[in-house]
């Protein structure tokens, strides 16, 4: 089912517990206009409230994933950039979605588009994907987390190289640096993401959002605090798990392992 309630700038297709969200301004390289930013934020809020949607694939229409903020719109609006960006930013709304968000990066992800990509939990790229942080080249600083997330993903030296030059990073180099999960042919991008989402949905249902939260909460802490967070989370959860239920699932895990040899 395709949902066009957000208008033509954003498309949502729901099937089998998975929502595919497509940025749909291909002639503008899916640049983040005010309308698109609002649509992304409102859509992810609605998806979080939808009990039938447990995973999201985020991608772009046309040749680009997202070229960042719509600089043409910004230039014709308020006198300062800060005065044109909504309080309800899309990156925060993506982060509020409790299930996994898979970024299907089909083309360039630049500046604000790079930040959208980093808001995802898993990144699968087509061979056409490229990343660039051009904040300093256009004279602004990031406000959706890129300056802190990138160094944690790549290490501070590689993050500085990207952000302090504005140079492009190819999908292949991003994979070599550990920033993305894998690179596939363009025609394989969405099928690969769909299969990955289906694998995630095959977990014990309540464990999927719980494990994501545990990883995210711990990653935001220092290592010692993160270990205590894990102990607290697992202690609260595991005390209610029936051992017979674990044994019943063990055989399914064994059979899956045999199939994936």
Structural domain ending residue among the three candidates 153, 173, 201: 201
Total domains, the chain: 2
Asked if pLDDT for residue 216 goes beyond 70, the answer is yes
CATH number at residue 16: 3.90.226.10
> 180: exposed, middle or buried (C-beta count within 10 Å: 0-12, 13-18, 19+)?
buried
pLDDT in tens, 157-196: 999 999 999 999 999 999 999 999 999 999 999 999 999 9
C-alpha 26/C-alpha 36 separation (Å) is 12
Residues 240 and 183 in one domain: no
pLDDT tens digits for 82-111?
555 555 689 999 999 999 999 999 999 999
Note whether 193 and 215 are same-domain residues: no
79 and 150 share a domain?
yes
Q: Where are any strands of DSSP class E within 61-151? A: 64-66, 101-105, 108-110, 122-126, 130-132
Helix, strand, coil % (nearest 5) of the chain? 50, 20, 35
What pLDDT sits at residue 84? 52
As given in the structure block, the two tokens for residue 207 are: 């464990």
Domain identity same for 189 and 254: no
Q: What angle do CA 206, 197, 58 make, to 5 degrees?
A: 110
Residue numbers of the domain that contains 218: 207-259
Q: Tell me: do 104 and 220 sit in the same domain.
A: no
Shared-domain flag, residues 163 and 242: no
Q: Is the pLDDT of residue 233 over 90?
A: no
Nearest-Å Rg of the Cα atoms of the chain is 19
Asked if 153 and 217 sit in the same domain, the reply is no
Does the structure show a pLDDT above 50 at 5? no
Could you tell me if 139 and 211 lie in one domain? Answer: no
Angle between helices 156-163 and 146-154 (to 10 degrees): 130
How far is residue 133's CA from residue 176's CA, in Å, rounded to a whole number? Answer: 18
- Tokens read off for 225: 């605090």
């Amino acid at each position: 089912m395709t949902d066009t309630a957000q208008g033509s700038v954003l498309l949502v297709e729901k099937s089998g517990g998975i929502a595919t969200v497509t940025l749909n301004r291909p002639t503008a390289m899916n640049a983040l206009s005010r309308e698109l930013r609002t649509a992304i934020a409102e859509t992810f809020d609605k998806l979080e409230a939808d009990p039938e949607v447990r995973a999201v694939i985020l991608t772009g229409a046309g040749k680009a994933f997202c070229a960042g903020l719509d600089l043409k719109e910004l230039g014709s609006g308020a006198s300062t950039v800060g005065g044109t960006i909504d309080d309800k930013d899309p990156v925060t709304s993506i982060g509020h979605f409790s299930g996994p968000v898979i970024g299907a990066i089909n083309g360039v992800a630049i500046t604000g588009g790079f930040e959208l990509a980093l808001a995802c939990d898993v990144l699968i790229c087509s061979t056409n994907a490229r990343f660039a942080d051009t904040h300093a080249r256009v004279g602004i600083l990031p406000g959706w987390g890129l300056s802190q997330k990138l160094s944690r993903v790549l290490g501070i030296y590689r993050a500085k190289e990207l952000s302090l030059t504005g140079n492009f990073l190819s999908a292949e180099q991003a994979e070599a640096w550990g920033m993305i999960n894998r690179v596939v042919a363009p025609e394989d991008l969405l099928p690969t993401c769909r299969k990955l989402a289906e694998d995630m949905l095959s977990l014990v249902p309540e464990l999927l959002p719980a494990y994501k939260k545990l990883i995210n909460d711990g990653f935001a802490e220092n290592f010692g605090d993160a270990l205590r967070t894990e102990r607290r989370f697992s202690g609260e959860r595991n005390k209610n798990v029936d051992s017979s239920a674990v044994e019943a699932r063990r055989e399914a895990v064994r059979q899956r392992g045999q199939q994936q040899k």
